[in-house]
Amino acid sequence: MKKVIFTLEGKRFEIELENDFADYVTENLSENDIAFNRNNGATKFLKVYLKSMKNNYEMEKQIKILINNTRE
């Protein structure tokens, strides 16, 4: 397990995640301009969250298409 630590609206969060997932989260947050050494606004996190939800939505659509194509 690995800790991911960040500050959101003045509150520090320490979250333990599986190693590979922690690396993925850290990389994704960094790519989306989330700082680990200073405070971050809620708007930034909301944008990252919505972007992740969009990616998840698109992947689920693709999975359904693939499943339907393999049944035909």
What confidence score (pLDDT) does residue 70 get? 84
What confidence score (pLDDT) does residue 8 get? 97
**Dihedral of the alpha carbons of 10, 42, 24, 19, in degrees to the nearest 10:** 40
What confidence score (pLDDT) does residue 31 get? 96
Report d(CA 13, CA 4) in Å as an integer: 8
Q: Is the pTM of this model over 0.75?
A: yes
pLDDT by residue, tens only, the chain of 72 residues: 999 999 999 999 999 999 999 999 999 999 999 999 999 999 999 999 999 999 999 999 999 999 998 877
What confidence score (pLDDT) does residue 71 get? 78
